[in-house]
């Protein structure tokens, strides 16, 4: 569970799902996705705390990219809570024209590096948000052979380092039983507005906020 205090800074970092059209020259601009929803909901629920929200997501990023920019885009902000969602591009690059594969061992090694940096330099609260995938189009089903082990690695790291874990892959799978998968994410990866709201609501549930 996550706890908040007055002037707490909450930083969100990841790929395009986090980025979601944010203005990169201003890290306090939340973008148009789940970070915006969370900034609104948390800012209203905890108005007396004067919370600060930071979005440093960058479209296309893999965990190696987070590691390369960790000092500037995470540690330098001195956040009190860091929320990380990363992994789908590490899988996607295996199946697109680039064929630039990140194996699970490399994914876990870089992920653990950034978590250790947080633990040793900031001692902040960590939220790990699980990468997810729905079968839209059908060929996305093949991606499971690569993504599932990475989800397993994220869960193992969360057990050691995180204060909260958001199991989005299962959450989206369950949501696809309530309405078709494309309702939540038109391409199996990037959420619709409903998908972004589902992420925000799940984040609040699993952090206890």
Residues in the chain: 209
Strand partners, 55: 12
**pLDDT tens column, 132-173:** 999 999 999 999 999 999 999 999 999 999 999 999 999 999
Domain assignment of residue 83, yes or no = yes
Q: Is the pLDDT reported for residue 98 higher than 80?
A: no
For residue 142, the model assigns a pLDDT of 96
Domain assignment of residue 165, yes or no = yes
Q: What is the CA radius of gyration of the chain?
A: 16
Please give the angle made by the CA atoms of 203, 111 and 81, to the nearest 5 degrees.
40
List 100, 103, 139, 187, catalytic entry: 187
Distance CA 129, CA 85 (A): 5
Task: Name the percent of the chain lying above pLDDT 70.
Answer: 100
List 16, 80, 110, 146, catalytic entry: 16
Instruction: Check whether the bond before 137 is cis (ω within 30° of 0).
Output: yes
**pLDDT tens column, 37-95:** 999 999 999 999 999 999 999 999 999 999 999 999 999 999 999 999 999 999 999 98
Least confident residue range of 19-28, 113-122, 139-148, 159-168: 19-28
Higher-confidence residue of 29 and 173: namely 173
Assess whether 139 carries a catalytic annotation: no
Supply the mean pLDDT for the chain: 96
Domain assignment of residue 124, yes or no = yes
Distance CA 110, CA 203 (A): 23
Assess whether 190 carries a catalytic annotation: yes
Mean pLDDT of 27-39: 94
State the total domains in the chain: 1
For residue 100, the model assigns a pLDDT of 84
Assess whether 187 carries a catalytic annotation: yes
Q: Residue 29: which pLDDT band, with cuts at 50, 70 and 90?
A: confident
Domain assignment of residue 48, yes or no = yes
Domain assignment of residue 2, yes or no = no
Domain assignment of residue 141, yes or no = yes
CATH number at residue 23: 3.40.50.1110
Domain assignment of residue 117, yes or no = yes
Distance CA 58, CA 19 (A): 5
Domain limits for position 23: 9-207
Domain assignment of residue 3, yes or no = no
């Amino acid at each position: 569970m996550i706890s908040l205090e007055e002037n707490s800074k909450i930083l969100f970092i990841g790929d395009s799902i986090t980025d979601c059209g944010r203005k990169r020259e201003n890290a306090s601009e939340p973008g148009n996705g789940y970070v915006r929803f969370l900034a609104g909901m948390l800012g209203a629920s905890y108005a007396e705390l004067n919370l600060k929200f930071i979005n440093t997501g960058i479209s296309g990023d893999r965990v190696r990219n987070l590691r390369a920019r960790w000092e500037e885009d995470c540690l330098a902000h001195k956040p009190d809570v860091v929320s990380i969602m990363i992994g789908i591009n590490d899988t996607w690059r295996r199946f697109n024209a680039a064929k630039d594969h990140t194996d699970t061992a490399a994914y876990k090694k870089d992920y653990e590096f950034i978590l250790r940096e947080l633990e040793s330099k900031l001692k902040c609260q960590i939220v790990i948000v699980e990468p997810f995938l729905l079968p839209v189009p059908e060929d996305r089903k093949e991606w499971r052979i690569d993504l599932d082990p990475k989800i397993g690695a994220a869960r193992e790291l969360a057990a050691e380092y995180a204060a909260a874990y958001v199991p989005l892959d299962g959450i989206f799978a369950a949501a696809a039983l309530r309405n078709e998968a494309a309702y939540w994410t038109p391409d199996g990866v990037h959420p619709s507005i409903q998908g972004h709201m589902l992420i925000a609501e799940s984040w609040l549930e699993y952090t206890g906020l």
